[in-house]
Amino acid sequence: MPRHPNLWNPMNDLSAAPTSLKANILRHLAYTLGKDAEHASTYDWRMALSFAIRDQIVEPWFASTRKTWATGHKRVYYLSMEFLIGRILEDATVNLGLRDQAEEAMASFGQDFRAIIEDEPDAALGNGGLGRLAACFMESMATLGCPAYGYGIRYEHGLFRQRFEGGRQVEAPEDWLKQDHPWEFTRPEAAYVIPFKGHMEQQAGREVWVPSETVVASAYDTPVVGWQGKWANTLRLWGALPTTMFDLDRFNRGDYAAAAEPEALARTLSRVLYPDDTTYQGKELRLKQEFFLTSAALQDILRRFLASETDLRKLPDHVAIQMNDTHPAIAGPELIRLLVDEHGMPFDQALPVARACLGYTNHTLLPEALERWATFTFGNVLPRHMQIVEQIDHWHKTEHRGRPHYIGIVKHHEVRMGELAFIMAHKVNGVSALHSDLIKKNLFPELHALHPDRIVNQTNGVTPRRWLKMCNKPLSTLITDTIGAGWEADLDLLKGLEKPIKTKAFCKDFDAAKRVNKVELSNWLASHEGITVNPDALFDVQIKRIHEYKRQLLNILQTIGHWEAIKQNPNANWVPRVKIFGGKAAPGYAVAKEIIRLINDVAEVINNDPVSGDLLKVVYPANYNVSMAERLIPAADLSEQISTAGKEASGTGNMKFMINGAPTIGTLDGANVEILHEVGEENFFLFGMTTEQAMARRQDPEHARKAIEASQTLQDVLQMVAEGRFSPDQKDRYHDLVHRVWHHDYFLVASDFDAYDAAQVRVDSAYADRDNWVKMAALNTARSGFFSSDRTIRSYMKDVWNVSSAL
Ligand SMILES: *Cc1c(COP(=O)(O)O)cnc(C)c1O
C-alpha cells in the first residue's frame, strides 16, 4: 500500500492540473530527481519543491531582462567578495506569495514543511555584516525594480563550520555544494580569461602585458526575485577553471598527478572564502581572488554594453559599478586597462569614464582592516596594474598640484587600496551617519579636503521580507491583522502601529507573539543544546562575529558580576535572564578565541549552579549563521549592541532586532545613533562613552587601572576569572586575558563596565514593569521603518548610481 493515498498515481495529478504547484512538485520529483514519491527522502522533496518554486521565478526573470534590454535602461553592478545569502527556498516562496501553498502542498504529501526548509544548506559565502548587506541589497534591488547584477565568487567552501570542544572553537570545512544546488544555472558560455603575473614588453611602441598564468572565470547565475515577484535580477558568481584542463602529454608519460595539476591550481582560486573579518593578511591568493572577481565582472559588463552600444565614452550612462569595500578596488585600474589596452582609449579619457562608473562603500575605520598590498606582491601578480596605479597617482598629483592636502596611493612600498578606491570613485560612502562623519574627519581627511562633495552617507538597512515577514510569522501576522498588508514593501507603514500600541489588546497580542517565538526557541535550545531555559525569562542576545571591538568580553564579565550578586542575595526579586551568545572568530584571531572559551567556561559553571538556578543561564549555540539569526532574533527581548564608540561602522544586526521588537542596550556607535533617534531615548538603554570621550580616555595610559580600581564589582569579577573560578582544571587559563584588561584594554572594557552594569540594572527594572516593557518593544517595531534596505537602495539609486526603477 502507498504511504500517501493521494500519491497513488502522481501522473494522473500531472495531467489533471498541469499548472498547480503540487503537480509541478511531483513532476520534478519524477522527471528531474528520478524519484518515486514512495521512496523520496526529505532531500528529494526539498529539491522537487525548490525546482517547482524556481520555475515560478524564471518568467519574471526573463521579463525583467527583456525589459532592461528593450529600454536600454541603466544597470547597477554590485561587486562584492561576499554574499551571505543564507537559505533561499523559504525566502523565494515568501516573495512569490506561495509560502502557504507550498506548506499545504508538502503537507498533502505527508511532508513537514519546516523540515524541508531546514534541510537546505545555509549558503555562507560571507563572513558577517558586509556579506549580509550585499544579500539584502540584492533582494531590495529586485523588489524596487532596479536592474542589477551582483557579482561574486562561487566559493566551493563558504565560511567554516564552528563547533566547540571543551569550550574551544574548532573549525571544520563547510561544503554547501556537496549536494546539488538547485537555484543556480550554469553558464559555460559566459567565460572569460583572467591573466596573472608575467612581464611587460614593448611592442610597436606600446606596453604589452605578457601574462605567465591564466585561468578561466565561468559564470553561475542565481535569480533573485523581489517582493511579489514583480522583478528578478541575477546574482552571477564566478567559478575558476583551468585554461587547459589537462596535460595529456604528462598523462601519457604516466605522470597522472602532474597531469591534473593545472586544474587543481586554477580551482584553488574559487576554493575557499577567507575567514577574516575586519583584518586582512596580505596573501597573494587573496589578491588573485579579488582580481579574478573584478576582471571577470568588468569583462562581462563591457561585453554586455558593447552588445547594444558602440561608444565606450557613454559607459557611465549605462553602467554603475559599486565596490563593496576595497576588496574589488582593483576595478579602477582594471577598467582603465580594458579601455586603454583592449579598446584603444587614451588614458586621459579612460580615467574619467571609469571614475564616473565607480562608487566605493567604506565599511570600517579599523586601521588593520584597510587593505594594503606590498608593491612587490602587487607588481608581481599584476604588473600592468602596477603601472596604471602609478599613472593614476601621478595624474591625481598633477591635477591637484600646489594643493597642500595631497596624499598618495603608493606609499612606503605599499599600494593602499582605500586611497585607490577613493580616487577612482565618483562617490564614496559610509554606512551610517556617524561613520560617514568619521570617514571625513579621521580616515580620509586630506582626500576629503580635495574632494569635498565625494563622501556621502548611505545608512545600511535590512530587507523586511526575510527579517520580519519570513522569520517572524507570529509578529508579521499580527501586524497585517492590525494595519493591513503593504508594510512589507513600505516599512514606514509600521508607524500605523503607534495608535494600537496605546491599547491593552494590541500589547497583549504583541506580547503573545513574542512568547510564541520564545517558546519555540526554548524548545530548540532544549533539543539542540540540551539546556532547559525558562521562556518567561528575559532573553538577552548578543550574536555577531567575535571581535574585541564588539566587546563580548564586556558582556560576559558583567554576566559574572550579575551571577555573583544573585549568589549574595538569592532571594531578592531578580528578573530571570537567559544570556544568549552566538558568533564565530577568525581562525587566526587568538584573543577572540580566548573570549569564546571564557564564555563557554562561564556557562558551564553558571548553568550548573543550583543557587542561581533558573535566574541566570548562559547559552552559546555553535555555528552562528543566517539561519540561526532568523531563529534567535524574533525571540529576543534585548539586543546587545555594545561596541566601543567609533569602532562599529553601522551594524545591521541592531536593525534586525529593532524590527522584531527587541529594545537595544547599546553605545552611541554606528547606526545605534540613528536607532536611538528613531525610537526615542525612553525606548533605548543607552550607556557608555562617546567616540570623543573614548579617544580622550585612551590618552591616559592608566585608564584601565583607574577604571578597575574605581569599580569594586569589576575588581571582584576580574579576580574570579584570574584565579580560575571558571577554569578549575587549569587555574591560570585566563591570566593573560585579565592582564590585558588591566594593562592594555584598547577597547575600553574596563572604562565602560560600570555604565554597562548600571544600564543592565535599568533593563531589569524596566522588564519588571510588564506593560511598559511590551509597549517599549512594540514601539521599536513601529519606528523601525527607516531601517528597510529599500530606503537604503532608493538612496543609492538617487545619490550614487543615478538610476531609476524599471518597474
Ligand atoms: C546580520 C548578520 C550579521 C551582522 O551582525 P552585526 O551585529 O551587525 O555585526 C552577521 N552575521 C549574520 C549571520 C547576520 O545575519
Say how many Å lie between the CA of residue 19 and the centre of ligand 1: 39
Question: Does residue 5 carry a pLDDT above 50?
Answer: no
Distance CA 246, CA 241 (A): 11
DSSP 491: G
pLDDT confidence of residue 246: 63
Question: Strand 213-225 vs strand 232-242: parallel, antiparallel, or unpaired?
Answer: antiparallel
Q: Relative to the CA of 670, which ligand 1 atom is closest?
A: 8
| Total length of the chain | 807
User: Does ligand 1 come within 6 angstroms of the Cβ of 363?
Assistant: no
Selecting among 363, 547, 597, 697, the annotated active-site residue is 363
Q: In total, how many domains does the chain have? A: 1
92 domain residue, yes or no: no
Beta-bridged to residue 223, according to DSSP, are 234
User: Does ligand 1 come within 6 angstroms of the Cβ of 134?
Assistant: no
Looking at ligand 1, which residue's alpha carbon is closest to its atom 7? 653
User: Does ligand 1 come within 6 angstroms of the Cβ of 364?
Assistant: no
CA dihedral 654, 657, 659, 663 (to 10 degrees): -90
pLDDT confidence of residue 608: 98
412 domain residue, yes or no: no
pLDDT confidence of residue 253: 79
Distance CA 301, CA 652 (A): 30
Catalytic residue at 706?
no
Question: Does residue 275 carry a pLDDT above 50?
Answer: yes
Q: What is the pLDDT of residues 23-62, one digit of tens each?
A: 999 999 999 999 999 999 999 999 999 999 999 999 999 9
Q: Relative to the CA of 583, which ligand 1 atom is closest?
A: 11
The predicted model gives 266-278 an average pLDDT of: 92
Question: Does residue 11 carry a pLDDT above 60?
Answer: no
The predicted model gives 389-415 an average pLDDT of: 89
C-alpha cell at 9: 498515481
Cα–Cα nearest to 800, from 305, 298, 358: 358
Q: Give 491's Cβ-side CA count (13 Å radius).
A: 30
Q: Relative to the CA of 655, which ligand 1 atom is closest?
A: 8
C-alpha cell at 662: 527587541
Say how many Å lie between the CA of residue 625 and the centre of ligand 1: 8
Say how many Å lie between the CA of residue 89 and the centre of ligand 1: 20
Say how many Å lie between the CA of residue 132 and the centre of ligand 1: 7
Distance CA 426, CA 796 (A): 13
Q: What is the pLDDT of residues 458-493, one digit of tens each?
A: 999 999 999 999 999 999 999 999 999 999 999 999
Say how many Å lie between the CA of residue 129 and the centre of ligand 1: 5
Looking at ligand 1, which residue's alpha carbon is closest to its atom 9? 544
Residue 31, number of CB atoms within 10 A of its CB: 12
Question: Does residue 1 carry a pLDDT above 90?
Answer: no
Distance CA 571, CA 568 (A): 9
C-alpha cell at 191: 567565460
Residues 6+ apart with CB under 8 A from 51: 28, 32, 182
Q: What is the pLDDT of residues 206-258, one digit of tens each?
A: 889 999 999 999 999 999 999 999 999 999 999 999 987 666 777 777 777 77
Q: Relative to the CA of 652, which ligand 1 atom is closest?
A: 8
Q: What is the pLDDT of residues 330-354, one digit of tens each?
A: 999 999 999 999 999 999 999 999 9
Cα–Cα nearest to 755, from 645, 677, 591: 645
The predicted model gives 199-208 an average pLDDT of: 89
> Which of the two residues, 191 and 18, has the higher pLDDT score?
191
Say how many Å lie between the CA of residue 618 and the centre of ligand 1: 20
Selecting among 544, 597, 647, 733, the annotated active-site residue is 544
Place of cell 555604565: 755
Catalytic residue at 363?
yes
Distance CA 760, CA 685 (A): 8
C-alpha cell at 475: 509578529
Distance CA 589, CA 368 (A): 13
C-alpha cell at 173: 570545512
Band (405; pLDDT cuts 50, 70, 90): low
Catalytic residue at 775?
no
Catalytic residue at 466?
no
Say how many Å lie between the CA of residue 540 and the centre of ligand 1: 16
- In angstroms, the first-to-last Cα distance of the chain is 51
CATH number at residue 740: 3.40.50.2000
561 domain residue, yes or no: yes
Place of cell 532608493: 794
637 domain residue, yes or no: yes
Contact 698, 745 (CB under 8 A): no
Q: Which residues of 102-114 are buried (b: 16+ CB within 10 A; e: fewer)?
A: bbebbeebebebe
C-alpha cell at 94: 515568501
User: Does ligand 1 come within 6 angstroms of the Cβ of 333?
Assistant: no
Looking at ligand 1, which residue's alpha carbon is closest to its atom 6? 653
The predicted model gives 574-588 an average pLDDT of: 98
The CA–CA distances, whole Å, from 552 to 233, 531, 544, 586, 795 equal: 38, 21, 9, 15, 33
**Axis crossing angle, helix 749-768 with helix 770-782, rounded to the nearest 10:** 110
Distance CA 118, CA 778 (A): 29
Q: Which of the listed residues 130, 132, 363 should we mutate to test ligand 1's pocket, taking the one with most ligand atoms within 8 A of CB?
A: 132
Distance CA 517, CA 475 (A): 9
Say how many Å lie between the CA of residue 503 and the centre of ligand 1: 33
183 domain residue, yes or no: no
Distance CA 126, CA 159 (A): 6
Looking at ligand 1, which residue's alpha carbon is closest to its atom 10? 128
C-alpha cell at 227: 517582493
Question: Does residue 446 carry a pLDDT above 80?
Answer: yes
Catalytic residue at 545?
yes
pLDDT confidence of residue 258: 75
**Axis crossing angle, helix 703-710 with helix 749-768, rounded to the nearest 10:** 40
Contact 298, 332 (CB under 8 A): no
Contact 127, 80 (CB under 8 A): no
The predicted model gives 277-297 an average pLDDT of: 94
pLDDT confidence of residue 8: 38
Selecting among 154, 157, 288, 545, the annotated active-site residue is 545
Percent of the chain residues past pLDDT 70, beyond the cut: 97
Say how many Å lie between the CA of residue 543 and the centre of ligand 1: 7
Q: What is the pLDDT of residues 724-759, one digit of tens each?
A: 999 999 999 999 999 999 999 999 999 999 999 999
534 domain residue, yes or no: yes
Distance CA 548, CA 407 (A): 31
Selecting among 222, 459, 652, 691, the annotated active-site residue is 652
Contact 95, 229 (CB under 8 A): yes
33 domain residue, yes or no: no
Distance CA 526, CA 615 (A): 17
By three-state DSSP, how is residue 354 classified? helix
pLDDT confidence of residue 14: 37
Residues 6+ apart with CB under 8 A from 796: 322, 359, 429, 458
Cα–Cα nearest to 659, from 686, 633, 632, 685: 633
pLDDT confidence of residue 4: 41
- Between vectors from CA 131 to CA 130 and to CA 134, what angle results, nearest 5°? 95
68 domain residue, yes or no: no
Band (19; pLDDT cuts 50, 70, 90): low
- Tell me what the pLDDT averaged over the chain comes to: 95
Question: Does residue 16 carry a pLDDT above 70?
Answer: no
Place of cell 548578543: 542
**Structural domain boundaries enclosing 516:** 464-792
Q: Which of the listed residues 543, 555, 580 should we mutate to test ligand 1's pocket, taking the one with most ligand atoms within 8 A of CB?
A: 543
User: Does ligand 1 come within 6 angstroms of the Cβ of 651?
Assistant: yes
User: Does ligand 1 come within 6 angstroms of the Cβ of 128?
Assistant: yes
- Ranges of beta strands (E only) in 391-479 are 410-411, 414-416, 427-430, 455-457
Question: Does residue 7 carry a pLDDT above 70?
Answer: no
Distance CA 111, CA 122 (A): 21
Q: Which of the listed residues 87, 545, 623 should we mutate to test ligand 1's pocket, taking the one with most ligand atoms within 8 A of CB?
A: 545
Distance CA 572, CA 277 (A): 42
Torsion region of 501: left, alpha or beta (phi above 0 gives left; psi -120 to 50 gives alpha): alpha
User: Does ligand 1 come within 6 angstroms of the Cβ of 500?
Assistant: no
The predicted model gives 157-182 an average pLDDT of: 96
Distance CA 604, CA 11 (A): 56
Contact 493, 486 (CB under 8 A): yes
Residue 729, class by beta-carbon neighbours within 10 Å (0-12 exposed, 13-18 middle, 19+ buried)? exposed
Beta-bridged to residue 240, according to DSSP, are 217
User: Does ligand 1 come within 6 angstroms of the Cβ of 87?
Assistant: no
Complete DSSP assignment for 8-21: S-HHHHHHH-TTSH
